[in-house]
């Protein structure tokens, strides 16, 4: 193999070991016999793992969407605790814009 790459076997072994350690290639080196064993990934298991990740992401996003819809349906507002937001709420209450407690405000 070293002849094919026009290099010395020791240099080729060092370069291959660096590629293996960095994860660029999936293989093992038999240093005694000077043989490179390439490992093949099981596409079926990789596909299964990817589908599980996609399913978990979909489930998490769906739960978050249902929670947001429930909060909006019950007029539950989550906002930042800043003075401009507080002043706007005070002005609304002073102008007679009382919503009978339907606008709950939680500060972070």
Q: Write out the chain's pLDDT in tens, 108 residues.
A: 777 778 888 888 888 889 889 988 888 888 888 888 888 778 898 899 999 999 999 999 999 999 999 999 998 877 766 555 555 555 555 555 555 555 555 544
> For the whole model, what pTM was predicted?
0.41
Q: Is 100 left (phi over 0), alpha (psi -120 to 50) or beta?
A: left
d(CA 27, CA 20): 6
Could you please report the per-residue DSSP string of 6-26? TS-HHHHHHHHHHHHHHTSS-
- First and final CA of the chain: distance in angstroms? 63
Report the DSSP beta bridge partners of residue 78.
106
């Amino acid at each position: 193999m070293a002849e094919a790459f026009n290099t010395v076997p020791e240099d080729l072994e060092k370069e291959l070991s660096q590629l293996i350690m960095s994860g660029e290639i999936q293989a093992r080196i038999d240093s005694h016999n000077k043989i490179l064993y390439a490992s093949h990934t099981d596409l079926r298991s990789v596909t299964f793992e990817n589908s599980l990740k996609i399913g978990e992401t979909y489930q998490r996003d769906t739960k978050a969407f249902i929670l947001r819809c429930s909060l909006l349906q019950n007029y539950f507002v989550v906002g930042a605790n800043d003075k401009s937001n507080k002043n706007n709420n005070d002005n609304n209450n002073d102008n007679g814009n009382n919503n009978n407690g339907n606008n709950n405000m939680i500060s972070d």
